[in-house]
Amino acid sequence: MKRLTEEKTKLVLEKLTKYIGTNVKLLLDRPDGVYCFRERKGRVYYVSEKILSLASMVNPDKLTSIGTCFGKFTKSGKFRLHITALYHLAPYVQHKIWVKPSAEQQFLYGHHISKSGLSRITENTPQYQGVVIFSTNNIPLGFGVTAKSTMDCKYADPMATICFHQADIGEYIRSEDSLI
C-alpha cells in the first residue's frame, strides 16, 4: 500500500474532475471520516481511514483489494477509471445521459450510445465531457464521454454516436478477472 505521489494524485484528481467537476472536493473532504488514495500494483484504491488501519494487519501479499478500486495507471502513465468507481461518481456527476430501456442491453455489452438509444441528456453538456449513463429508472449503468454536445444532438442522425462507451456494469461479469 503506497501513498500516491503528488504527480499521480494530480492525474487521478484531474480524471475525476472530468466527470464530477468541483464536486471532487466532496470526495476528499467528507464528513464521515478521512478518506485517502492508496496505490497497489498500479491500482488506485479509495479507502477510509478506518479500513486502512484494519488492512495494515493483513499481509500485503495476500491482500486482494481494499476500499474501492477507482482505476489503474496504464503502462504509459495515464490513469484510467474502472467501473468500480461508479458508486462514488454517480451521485456527484454533473452531466448525465439517460438511455432508453431498449438500448440498455446494447450499452451493457460494451457498445457506444447512438442517438436512437438516447432518452434524455443534461442541458448544456459540451462535447467530450465525461458523463455517467443512467437507465430510465435512474440506475447508474456506466460512464463515458460525449461525442456530441447537447445542441449537436438535436440535429444528429439516429445512428450517430452520442456517447463513447468507457465502462459499464456489464464488466463485472465480462472482465471479472482483470477488474481487480
| Residue numbers at the binding site for other proteins (CB under 8 A) | 3, 5-6, 9-10, 13-14, 17-18, 21-22, 24-25, 28-29, 34-37, 49, 52, 126-129, 149
Compute the Cα dihedral for 88, 90, 42, 4 and give only its sign.
negative
Do residues 69 and 84 lie in contact, with contact meaning Cβ atoms separated by under 8 Å? yes
Q: Which of residues 3 and 139 has its CB atom nearest to other proteins in the complex?
A: 3
Q: Which of residues 2 and 120 has its CB atom nearest to other proteins in the complex?
A: 2
Nearest CA-CA partner of 147 in 134, 133, 161 = 161
Q: Which of residues 15 and 72 has its CB atom nearest to other proteins in the complex?
A: 15
The Cα–Cα gap between 102 and 121 comes to: 16
DSSP string, 26-88: HHHS-TTS-EEEEEETTEEEEEEHHHHHHHTTS-TTT----SEEEEEE-TTS-EEE-GGGHHH
State in angstroms the smallest separation of the CB of 164 from other proteins. Answer: 13
State in angstroms the smallest separation of the CB of 110 from other proteins. Answer: 24
State in angstroms the smallest separation of the CB of 154 from other proteins. Answer: 12
Q: Which of residues 3 and 120 has its CB atom nearest to other proteins in the complex?
A: 3
Based on its alpha-carbon atoms, the radius of gyration of the chain, rounded to whole angstroms, reads 17
State in angstroms the smallest separation of the CB of 125 from other proteins. Answer: 10
State in angstroms the smallest separation of the CB of 111 from other proteins. Answer: 23
Q: Across the strands, what pairs with 118?
A: 99
- Measured CA distances, 146 to 19, 34, 118, 175 (Å): 11, 33, 12, 24
State in angstroms the smallest separation of the CB of 18 from other proteins. Answer: 6
* Count of alpha carbons within 13 angstroms of residue 81, beta-carbon side: 28
Q: Which of residues 24 and 141 has its CB atom nearest to other proteins in the complex?
A: 24
Q: Which of residues 34 and 180 has its CB atom nearest to other proteins in the complex?
A: 34
